[in-house]
């Protein structure tokens, strides 16, 4: 048997695009990292940092990135608000996700209307530092308003079905460690900058960690800052994407309409008192009617990070059938099946207690899989019968428990191989795994016996093809340009999609 662990350098073949960053010290502000958090979409001509312009254009590939356009082009060519992504009723940031409601029948005011939302994950393989960056722009700055970003660990969070003629539910729920970063914009004409707050969901409630701007507003000189946000308080900024504003349309965003921030995910364990490094699978850009935490939410835009979980792939490499010689004695079953099985950590946090099972029996105790790491194994199974079902399953623990199954592609029509007399002990041991010890004695005048076997394995979860470097463009509900919603699925069952797994709870 051969065991292989692929390093992250080789992970491009597994669909994940990695981003090799300059080495960043852990004792360094999130705003002083590779990504510029300066209240603009560009880092500046003399800066070595990257910014939204290079992420958006694809010049700088991220671990994962997504761009959500929360409006659409009408039949006359005019830009129209997306009517299908508004909060409804008493939806509030202080409530858990199951209590939220959304509707396609309402609208919001200009200051609370999200135009675009965007996020990217950058991973430094040399230090293990993982950083998430996020941003949005709104339609107008005419009045006080609050904008924010929720980051969810539960991959099931998304738009649910109708609960009334005017309201629809949300799927999923909050988990300890979900983050909310908000900016409270003052009324138009005020000289006061936006106030930045960071909150975390813990024990069924959302609590504020940083209360003052001095800790939550991005400052490249604050080495203790692992989460921050900033706005374009006093200046108009250029935009690499089209800005469909109320007081100006084009490629410039007026002051107080742009909001961005960053998170060093590794640093959240101590900051938010978590048991392990979280892995966020989706985000929700939001607005609400006032600065109060229990104020009613207005507009939202969904986006999926699609990078948390475990994938398994098992394949049959072919089989052999022993041709039983007259009067020969055999110490192994007559059917041999060669297989390969691999499991991959799709996320940017470590998975622990990883095991691979065959028919509910532990086959490999993998242990820990680091970000993007793959464990691969080749082996042989020997059987007495031709109708045995072979089901491979992988389990692991991350921020949630994962369980995925691959009962892979068919393996049949074994190649006849002469058995000779008795197989040697070494040959027997090489293929007699799984506890099969059998003896076959063939006596008679029959020249030989040829038996055919079938090992049922059909492929379910092969790794998807590599993603493009450019950000995925989606609407506010998580649909792509073709109208396909691949981010948020109702009742996702285990193993149906390597990117979205239901927690095994």
CB under 8 Å to 46, separation ≥6 — which residues? Answer: none
What is the model's pLDDT at position 456?
A: 25
The answer to whether residue 487 is domain-embedded is no
> Are 88 and 102 a contacting pair, CB within 8 Å?
yes
Do 194 and 215 lie in one domain? The reply is: yes
The answer to whether residue 368 is domain-embedded is yes
Domains identified in the chain, total number: 2
For residue 357, how many other CB atoms are within 10 A of its CB?
Answer: 16
What is the model's pLDDT at position 73?
A: 61
What is the model's pLDDT at position 320?
A: 62
- pLDDT, one tens digit per residue, over 336-371 is 777 888 999 888 778 889 999 988 889 999 999 988
Do 103 and 215 lie in one domain? The reply is: yes
The answer to whether residue 500 is domain-embedded is no
Do 151 and 31 lie in one domain? The reply is: yes
Do 299 and 314 lie in one domain? The reply is: no
User: What is the rounded CA–CA span in Å between residue 210 and residue 292?
Assistant: 15
Tokens 């991220």, residue located = 62
User: What is the rounded CA–CA span in Å between residue 110 and residue 114?
Assistant: 9
pTM: 0.68
Which residues of the chain carry a pLDDT beneath 70? 1-28, 71-84, 106-108, 125-127, 188-189, 210-214, 306-307, 316-334, 384-389, 399-400, 407-505
User: What is the rounded CA–CA span in Å between residue 122 and residue 430?
Assistant: 44
User: What is the rounded CA–CA span in Å between residue 68 and residue 300?
Assistant: 11
For residue 186, how many other CB atoms are within 10 A of its CB?
Answer: 18
Do 67 and 182 lie in one domain? The reply is: yes
Do 301 and 332 lie in one domain? The reply is: no
The answer to whether residue 501 is domain-embedded is no
Do 446 and 351 lie in one domain? The reply is: yes
Q: In which domain, by residue range, is 129 found?
A: 17-306+466-474
User: What is the rounded CA–CA span in Å between residue 294 and residue 91?
Assistant: 9
User: What is the rounded CA–CA span in Å between residue 488 and residue 156?
Assistant: 6
Do 68 and 156 lie in one domain? The reply is: yes
Do 283 and 371 lie in one domain? The reply is: no
What is the model's pLDDT at position 71?
A: 67
Q: Is the dihedral of CA 30, 32, 33, 38 positive or negative?
A: positive
Do 293 and 339 lie in one domain? The reply is: no
Closest to 230 in 3D by CA, of 256, 209, 249, 208: 256
Phi, psi of 300 (to 5 degrees): -150, 160
Do 275 and 338 lie in one domain? The reply is: no
Closest to 356 in 3D by CA, of 372, 375, 371: 375
Q: Which residues of 58-71 are buried (b: 16+ CB within 10 A; e: fewer)?
A: eebbbbbbbbbbbb
The answer to whether residue 200 is domain-embedded is yes
Closest to 237 in 3D by CA, of 53, 430, 428: 53
The answer to whether residue 216 is domain-embedded is yes
The answer to whether residue 391 is domain-embedded is yes
Displacement of CA 459 from its chain's centroid (Å) = 22
User: What is the rounded CA–CA span in Å between residue 306 and residue 339?
Assistant: 29
User: What is the rounded CA–CA span in Å between residue 457 and residue 391?
Assistant: 7
The answer to whether residue 373 is domain-embedded is yes
Do 294 and 371 lie in one domain? The reply is: no
């Amino acid at each position: 048997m051969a065991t292989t662990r692929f390093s992250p350098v080789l992970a491009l073949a597994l669909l994940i695009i990695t981003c090799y960053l300059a080495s960043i010290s852990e004792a360094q502000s999130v705003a002083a990292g590779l990504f510029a958090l300066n209240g603009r979409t560009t880092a500046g001509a003399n800066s070595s940092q990257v910014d939204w312009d290079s992420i958006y254009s694809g010049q700088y590939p991220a671990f994962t990135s997504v761009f959500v356009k929360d409006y659409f082009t009408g039949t006359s060519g005019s830009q129209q608000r997306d009517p299908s992504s508004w909060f409804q009723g008493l939806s509030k940031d202080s409530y858990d996700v199951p209590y939220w409601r959304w509707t396609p029948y309402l609208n919001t005011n200009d200051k609370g209307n999200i135009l675009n939302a965007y996020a990217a994950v950058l991973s430094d393989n040399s230090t293990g530092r993982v950083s998430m960056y996020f941003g949005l722009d709104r339609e107008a700055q005419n009045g006080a308003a609050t904008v924010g970003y929720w980051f969810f660990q539960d991959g099931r969070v998304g738009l649910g079905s109708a609960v009334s003629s005017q309201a629809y539910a949300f799927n999923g729920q909050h988990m300890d460690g979900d983050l909310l970063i908000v900016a409270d914009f003052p009324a138009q004409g005020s000289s006061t900058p936006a106030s930045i707050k960071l909150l975390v969901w813990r024990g069924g409630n959302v609590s504020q960690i940083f209360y003052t701007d001095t800790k939550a507003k991005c400052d490249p000189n604050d080495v203790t800052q692992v989460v921050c946000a900033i706005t374009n308080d006093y200046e108009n900024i250029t935009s690499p994407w089209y800005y469909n504003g109320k007081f100006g349309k084009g490629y410039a965003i007026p002051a107080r309409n742009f909001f961005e921030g960053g998170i060093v995910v590794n640093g959240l364990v101590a900051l938010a008192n978590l048991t392990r490094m979280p892995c966020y699978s989706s985000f929700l850009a939001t607005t609400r009617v006032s600065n109060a935490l229990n104020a009613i939410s207005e507009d939202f835009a969904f986006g999926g990070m699609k990078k948390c979980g475990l994938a398994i792939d098992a394949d049959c490499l072919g089989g052999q059938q022993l041709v039983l010689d007259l009067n020969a004695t055999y110490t192994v079953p007559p059917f041999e099946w060669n297989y390969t099985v691999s499991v991959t950590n799709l996320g940017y946090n470590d998975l622990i207690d990883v095991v691979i099972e065959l028919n509910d029996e532990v086959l490999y105790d993998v242990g820990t899989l680091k970000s993007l790491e793959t464990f691969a194994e080749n082996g042989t199974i020997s059987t007495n019968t031709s109708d045995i079902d072979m089901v491979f399953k992988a389990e692991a623990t991350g921020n949630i428990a994962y369980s995925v199954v691959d009962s892979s592609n068919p393996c049949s029509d074994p190649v006849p191989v002469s058995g000779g007399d008795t197989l040697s002990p070494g040959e027997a041991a090489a293929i007699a795994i799984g506890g099969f010890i059998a003896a076959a004695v063939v006596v008679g005048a029959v020249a030989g016996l040829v038996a055919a076997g079938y090992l049922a394995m059909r492929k379910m979860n092969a790794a998807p093809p590599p993603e493009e470097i450019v950000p995925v463009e989606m609407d506010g509900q998580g649909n792509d340009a073709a109208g396909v919603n691949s981010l948020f699925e109702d009742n996702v069952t285990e193993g149906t999609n390597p990117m979205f797994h239901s927690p095994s709870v």
